[in-house]
Every structure is written in C-alpha cells, then in structure tokens.
Amino acid sequence: MATICALLLLALSGAAKATELMIVSDIHYMVGELYEGSDLFLRVLRAGDGKYTQHSDELMAALCAQVARERPDALVVTGDLSFNGERASHVALAEWFARIEGMGVPVWVIPGNYDINVGTARGFDGDEWYYTDAVTPEAFSEIYTDFMLSAVGDASLSYAVRVDDGLWVAMTDVSYYRDEAQTFGLFTSGHADWLEDVLAQARGAEVVTATHHSLLEHTAFSRDSFLMFGHEAMEALIRRYGVRLNLSGHMHAQHIVEKDGLTDAALGAFCTWPHRYARLTIRDDGEMTYEALSLDGDLLPEDFLDESRTWVEGITKDKMIAAMEGVSPDARGPMAEYATRFNLAYFSGTYCRDDPAWQEDPVYQLWLGYPNSSMWRYMKQVMNESDGDNLYRHWD
C-alpha cells in the first residue's frame, strides 16, 4: 500500500488551556426517502440489534442542539455513518454535518464497515426492497470533502489534524472495502508508514488516534468480531511515540480497556439507546478526561428516550425467548427479562461486575440451571471479564 500523507492544519482561534472534542460513532443514518411508510423496513430493524434508525433525523437534530449547547472544539465521528452504505443517506448526513460546521465546530469523519462499496445498499417501499446506489472511496471523499482531508490510495482514507502545537488527532481509516465492504478492519504496512510519518511530525505533542475497529481486545466476546487485524503492529507503533488513547466504535457497546498505559475507548452506538456520545478534554499540561454521556432528553421529542429503550428491550427480549429451547414456560419470561436487563447494562456501559444485585437476583439461579445455553455462556463471559468504569477515564 502506498503511503498516504494527508495532513490538515487547523488553527483554533484563541489558544486555550484545554481542547474539548465531542465524539460519536455508529450513527447508521438513513434518509427518510429510502424507507418512509415501509413496514418491511421496520421488520428489518426489529430483526437487528436495536438500531433506532427510523428516527435518524430526530437524533441528528438533537446532536446539533447538543453541539450548539456544549460548543466543543470539534466533532469526531469514528465510522459507520450510514445505515448500509446508501449514497442518498451519505449526502443527507453531510448536510447535517454542514449545519454543525455552520456553528463554527469542525467535523472530522472516517468511514466504517457500513459506508463504502456496500453491495447490499437498498431502499424500502411498502413490503418490497430495492437496490440503491452505494459509494466508492472517491465518492465518499467527495461527499465528505468538507469534513476530512484525504487521499484515496489502496482503499484507505486517513488524515491527521494538527489542532495546535500541543495536540494532533490521527484519523486512521482501517476499514476494509477494496472491491466490496467487509466487516473486519485491517492495519497494513501502508497505514504504518503514514501513521509513523504523522507521529514523527507531531513529536512532543499529544497525539490521539481514532479508528472504527478496536485497537485492543475488550473481552473474549468482542475479540473475533471487532478487533482489527494487524492491531499488534499499530499498538507497537503508537506505544513508541507515547500515544495514550485510541478512540473507536464498531462494537456498539460502551466499553473502555486499558493495557500497560494505552487505552482504547469504544463508544456505544449513537443510533441505539441510550444514544451515547463522548466528551474528551485535553489540557495543555497533559491532563485528559474522557466521559461517555447520553443525549439530553430535553433536546429530543417527548418520551423519545423511553420509547427508544422500550424498542431495544422488546427486540432483545424476543430474541432471548426465541433462543430458550427446553426452558419451562414459567421460567422463560423472567429469564428473558433478566437477560434483557443484563444486555442493556453491558451495551450501555453501566454493567458493574462488583454489583452483587446480579447474582442475588433469584432469576440468576434459574440461569444456572441452563449452563449450556449460548446466552448464559455469553453472560458469564461478560460477568467474568467486564471490569472498571466504562463511562469515565482520567489521565494525569
């Protein structure tokens, strides 16, 4: 892969003691013209993982209001911008980003695995679906030209932002979409050449890297599906230059992992309850804080957050019940409700391994009676591995 050297110099007016970045990931935006009035589209969503994509515009309007309220120095978007790679969705989302930049807040984006060369991009009309235009890397770069500076080379769109003399952000595109989009991420020798050039230029400054896929292993559950290939090479490289934080997404779970001084903060999906975003504050003296937050319900339609939670709870509970072969009818409902609460706690980042309530719940004993259940194996895996605060981190 040819080295990609794309560098954006950003002059933030009035050097401040701290820089504040807002981060979102996995927006999975879909423009209304591709699904409005389609029951089939709602059935597709109900078969998924809880995306509230049918309310994309309400969520983006609330994000704009949140940005207007907080006035961060930039908005960082770590991939999966569109629902399934539809060109029309990308074009409409770019208009929302333009609205944010109109407030004086720069927007920086990288693609995810649902954004470029997606062969299944489609729209919905009633009870039928149809193929719709996807985007190439070149088209993606053109649509989002105001929100990234990138060179198309061997299917990678990576660029670096020099915020000021003390801070750089390396937007590292590891999504793989050569010929056709794949779910995995790949850090190659070309990425390494580009990133090392950025790190060398930024020597002495704080560098934060951003990828769509995970840099570090969060849990055994997430390793095979979300950890990028070549992560060892990226990890070794950025360690040599003292990088402390990588921002990621893709997992749809709010989860933070630290390994020997290097942290990977995976942000929960913006499209799914509780509609996470993060605030990263970086001070001149090297102090940093990362906070995972939720959209303010006052910025959304009345009862929106309750209805969004009910939506994902219903989807999760239906899947749990469908998977409970051999479970008695009397136990099925309580066990499904327990698993649903557990799943929402894990994905929202609020599950705490040290909270005794999970094992003290009488339904926990019911689950112990089904040790070979795939759901129970998943819950035990998370119970044994998830540790620490997944909503907040501080660095001196």
- For the segment 231-280, what is each residue's pLDDT rounded down to a tens digit? 999 999 999 999 999 999 999 999 999 999 999 999 999 999 999 999 99
Report the alpha-carbon distance of residue 277 to residue 73 in Å, rounded. Answer: 15
Mean pLDDT of the chain: 92
- Supply the pLDDT for residue 328: 87
List, for residues 269-284, the tens digit of each pLDDT value: 999 999 999 999 999 9
Report the alpha-carbon distance of residue 374 to residue 216 in Å, rounded. Answer: 25
Determine, yes or no, domain membership for 132: yes
158 and 264 belong to one structural domain: yes
| pLDDT above 70 for 11 | no
With a CB cutoff of 8 Å and minimum separation 6, the contacts of 299 are: 61, 62, 65, 66, 69
Determine, yes or no, domain membership for 271: yes
- Supply the pLDDT for residue 14: 46
Q: Is the CA virtual torsion 90, 91, 95, 100 positive or negative?
A: positive
Cβ pair 291, 84 in contact under 8 A:
no
Determine, yes or no, domain membership for 391: no
- Supply the pLDDT for residue 32: 98
258 and 359 belong to one structural domain: no
| pLDDT above 70 for 143 | yes
Q: 335 is in which domain, residue-wise?
A: 305-385
- Supply the pLDDT for residue 227: 95
- Supply the pLDDT for residue 355: 87
Report the alpha-carbon distance of residue 393 to residue 391 in Å, rounded. Answer: 7
Q: Grade residue 217 by pLDDT with cuts at 50, 70 and 90.
A: very high
- Supply the pLDDT for residue 150: 64
Report the alpha-carbon distance of residue 180 to residue 135 in Å, rounded. Answer: 11
Determine, yes or no, domain membership for 218: yes
Give the predicted TM-score (pTM) of the model: 0.93
Which CATH number do you get for residue 78?
3.60.21.10
Report the alpha-carbon distance of residue 115 to residue 140 in Å, rounded. Answer: 8
The full DSSP string for 295-357 is: --GGGSSTTHHHHHHHHHHHHHHHHHHHT-TT--HHHHHHHHHHHHHHHHHHHHT---TT-TH
Tell me the percentage of the chain whose pLDDT exceeds 70: 93
Q: Grade residue 371 by pLDDT with cuts at 50, 70 and 90.
A: confident
Domain count within the chain: 2
Report the alpha-carbon distance of residue 388 to residue 256 in Å, rounded. Answer: 8
List, for residues 23-80, the tens digit of each pLDDT value: 999 999 999 999 999 999 999 999 999 999 999 999 999 999 999 999 999 999 999 9
Report the alpha-carbon distance of residue 358 to residue 327 in Å, rounded. Answer: 20
- Supply the pLDDT for residue 372: 84
**How open is the CA angle 292-294-295, to the nearest 5 degrees?**
140
- Would you state the structure tokens that stand for residue 108, as one six-digit string? 């920086």
Report the alpha-carbon distance of residue 346 to residue 253 in Å, rounded. Answer: 7
103 and 186 belong to one structural domain: yes
Strands (E), the chain: 7-9, 18-24, 74-78, 107-110, 122-125, 128-131, 159-164, 167-171, 206-210, 245-248, 255-259, 262-266, 276-283, 288-294, 392-395
Determine, yes or no, domain membership for 174: yes
Last residue of a domain, one of 298, 316, 337: 298
Determine, yes or no, domain membership for 395: no
| pLDDT above 60 for 1 | no
| pLDDT above 50 for 16 | no
- Supply the pLDDT for residue 384: 79
204 and 153 belong to one structural domain: yes
Determine, yes or no, domain membership for 392: no
Report the alpha-carbon distance of residue 229 to residue 113 in Å, rounded. Answer: 14
- Supply the pLDDT for residue 4: 39
CA 225, distance to chain mean position in Å, is 14
- Supply the pLDDT for residue 329: 87
Considering only CA atoms, which of 291, 297, 298, 247 is closest in space to residue 274?
A: 297
List, for residues 105-128, the tens digit of each pLDDT value: 999 999 999 999 999 999 999 999
38 and 172 belong to one structural domain: yes
162 and 18 belong to one structural domain: yes
3-state DSSP call for residue 214?
strand
List, for residues 322-369, the tens digit of each pLDDT value: 888 788 888 999 999 999 999 999 999 999 888 889 999 999 999 999
Determine, yes or no, domain membership for 380: yes
160 and 280 belong to one structural domain: yes
261 and 314 belong to one structural domain: no
Last residue of a domain, one of 298, 329, 363: 298
- Pick the range with the lowest mean pLDDT from 15-29, 150-164, 297-311, 377-391: 150-164
Cβ pair 234, 215 in contact under 8 A:
yes
- Supply the pLDDT for residue 37: 94
Last residue of a domain, one of 271, 298, 325: 298
**Residue 358 belongs to what H/E stretch?**
helix 357-360
221 and 338 belong to one structural domain: no
Report the alpha-carbon distance of residue 234 to residue 192 in Å, rounded. Answer: 7
**Strands of 107-110's sheet, edge to edge?**
107-110, 74-78, 18-24, 276-283, 288-294, 392-395
- Supply the pLDDT for residue 155: 44
72 and 190 belong to one structural domain: yes
- Supply the pLDDT for residue 226: 93
List, for residues 165-205, the tens digit of each pLDDT value: 999 999 999 999 998 999 999 999 999 999 999 999 999 99
- Supply the pLDDT for residue 386: 62
313 and 294 belong to one structural domain: no
49 and 171 belong to one structural domain: yes
